[in-house]
Amino acid sequence: MTSPARRPWESWAPPLDPPTPGGLADADAEAIAAAYWDDDPHLCAALQWESYAATLPPSAAVSQVATGSQSVTYAPALPGGDYGLAIARAAWHRSFCTFTTVPLVPSIEAAFGDVDDGEWWEALG
Protein backbone atom coordinates (compact mmCIF):
# COMPACT_ATOMS: atom_id res chain seq x y z
CA MET A 1 0.00 0.00 0.00
CA THR A 2 1.41 3.39 -0.95
CA SER A 3 0.66 6.63 0.84
CA PRO A 4 -0.97 9.49 -1.08
CA ALA A 5 1.34 12.14 -2.52
CA ARG A 6 2.01 14.95 -0.08
CA ARG A 7 2.06 18.59 -0.98
CA PRO A 8 5.45 20.20 -0.25
CA TRP A 9 4.09 22.51 2.46
CA GLU A 10 2.31 19.79 4.44
CA SER A 11 5.36 18.81 6.48
CA TRP A 12 5.42 22.33 8.00
CA ALA A 13 1.65 22.72 8.37
CA PRO A 14 -0.40 22.28 11.55
CA PRO A 15 -2.80 19.33 11.85
CA LEU A 16 -5.16 19.41 8.87
CA ASP A 17 -8.86 18.59 8.82
CA PRO A 18 -9.23 16.08 7.22
CA PRO A 19 -7.69 13.74 8.40
CA THR A 20 -7.37 15.26 11.90
CA PRO A 21 -10.73 16.45 13.29
CA GLY A 22 -10.36 19.94 14.76
CA GLY A 23 -7.29 20.76 12.68
CA LEU A 24 -6.95 23.64 10.24
CA ALA A 25 -9.37 23.17 7.36
CA ASP A 26 -7.50 21.71 4.41
CA ALA A 27 -9.01 24.30 2.05
CA ASP A 28 -7.77 27.15 4.26
CA ALA A 29 -4.27 25.67 4.46
CA GLU A 30 -4.22 25.17 0.68
CA ALA A 31 -5.29 28.79 0.07
CA ILE A 32 -2.51 30.11 2.33
CA ALA A 33 0.03 27.84 0.64
CA ALA A 34 -1.09 28.92 -2.83
CA ALA A 35 -0.60 32.56 -1.89
CA TYR A 36 2.70 32.40 0.03
CA TRP A 37 4.61 29.08 -0.26
CA ASP A 38 6.59 29.98 -3.40
CA ASP A 39 7.64 33.41 -2.07
CA ASP A 40 8.37 32.59 1.59
CA PRO A 41 7.74 29.08 2.98
CA HIS A 42 8.24 30.22 6.59
CA LEU A 43 5.63 32.97 6.20
CA CYS A 44 3.26 30.39 4.75
CA ALA A 45 3.81 28.05 7.70
CA ALA A 46 3.51 30.90 10.23
CA LEU A 47 0.18 31.99 8.74
CA GLN A 48 -1.09 28.42 8.75
CA TRP A 49 -0.11 27.91 12.40
CA GLU A 50 -1.65 31.27 13.37
CA SER A 51 -4.85 30.34 11.53
CA TYR A 52 -4.91 27.02 13.37
CA ALA A 53 -4.30 28.76 16.72
CA ALA A 54 -7.23 31.08 16.02
CA THR A 55 -9.53 28.04 15.97
CA LEU A 56 -8.34 26.83 19.40
CA PRO A 57 -9.63 28.05 22.73
CA PRO A 58 -7.08 30.26 24.47
CA SER A 59 -5.50 28.69 27.52
CA ALA A 60 -4.22 30.15 30.73
CA ALA A 61 -0.84 31.83 30.56
CA VAL A 62 1.99 30.18 32.47
CA SER A 63 4.37 32.47 34.34
CA GLN A 64 6.06 29.99 36.68
CA VAL A 65 6.60 26.23 36.85
CA ALA A 66 7.87 24.60 40.04
CA THR A 67 8.74 20.91 40.37
CA GLY A 68 10.00 20.82 43.94
CA SER A 69 13.65 20.65 43.02
CA GLN A 70 13.66 23.57 40.61
CA SER A 71 11.55 26.52 39.56
CA VAL A 72 11.38 28.30 36.21
CA THR A 73 9.84 31.74 35.73
CA TYR A 74 8.70 33.03 32.33
CA ALA A 75 8.53 36.75 31.64
CA PRO A 76 6.30 37.58 29.90
CA ALA A 77 3.91 34.76 30.72
CA LEU A 78 3.49 32.22 27.91
CA PRO A 79 0.16 30.70 26.84
CA GLY A 80 -0.09 26.98 27.49
CA GLY A 81 -1.83 24.01 25.94
CA ASP A 82 -2.36 23.41 22.23
CA TYR A 83 -2.94 27.13 21.70
CA GLY A 84 0.43 28.01 23.22
CA LEU A 85 2.20 25.34 21.18
CA ALA A 86 0.60 26.62 17.95
CA ILE A 87 1.56 30.23 18.71
CA ALA A 88 5.11 29.16 19.59
CA ARG A 89 5.42 27.24 16.31
CA ALA A 90 4.12 30.26 14.36
CA ALA A 91 6.61 32.55 16.14
CA TRP A 92 9.46 30.16 15.31
CA HIS A 93 8.55 30.23 11.61
CA ARG A 94 8.17 34.03 11.66
CA SER A 95 11.73 34.31 12.99
CA PHE A 96 12.91 33.06 9.57
CA CYS A 97 10.55 35.18 7.44
CA THR A 98 11.81 37.53 4.79
CA PHE A 99 8.54 39.49 5.18
CA THR A 100 7.55 40.70 8.63
CA THR A 101 3.90 41.14 7.62
CA VAL A 102 1.69 39.93 4.82
CA PRO A 103 2.37 42.11 1.77
CA LEU A 104 -0.51 44.42 0.87
CA VAL A 105 0.19 44.63 -2.87
CA PRO A 106 -1.33 41.26 -3.85
CA SER A 107 -4.56 42.23 -2.08
CA ILE A 108 -4.77 45.52 -4.01
CA GLU A 109 -4.12 43.75 -7.30
CA ALA A 110 -6.76 41.14 -6.48
CA ALA A 111 -9.30 43.84 -5.65
CA PHE A 112 -8.62 46.33 -8.46
CA GLY A 113 -6.77 44.43 -11.15
CA ASP A 114 -3.63 45.74 -12.81
CA VAL A 115 -3.24 49.28 -11.41
CA ASP A 116 -0.07 51.31 -12.00
CA ASP A 117 1.90 52.60 -9.00
CA GLY A 118 0.23 55.65 -7.51
CA GLU A 119 -3.10 55.05 -9.27
CA TRP A 120 -4.58 52.65 -6.75
CA TRP A 121 -5.82 55.53 -4.56
CA GLU A 122 -7.99 56.63 -7.49
CA ALA A 123 -9.17 53.03 -7.91
CA LEU A 124 -10.35 53.07 -4.29
CA GLY A 125 -12.37 56.20 -5.18
Q: How many domains does the chain have?
A: 1
Instruction: Provide the domain limits for residue 17.
Output: 11-97
Written as tens digits, the pLDDT of the chain (125 aa) is 444 568 999 999 999 999 999 999 999 999 999 999 999 999 999 999 999 999 988 777 777 778 888 887 766 666 778 888 899 999 999 999 866 565 555 555 555 566 566 555 555 55
Model pTM score: 0.66
d(C-alpha 47, C-alpha 7), whole Å? 17
For residue 52, is it within any domain?
yes
For residue 71, is it within any domain?
yes
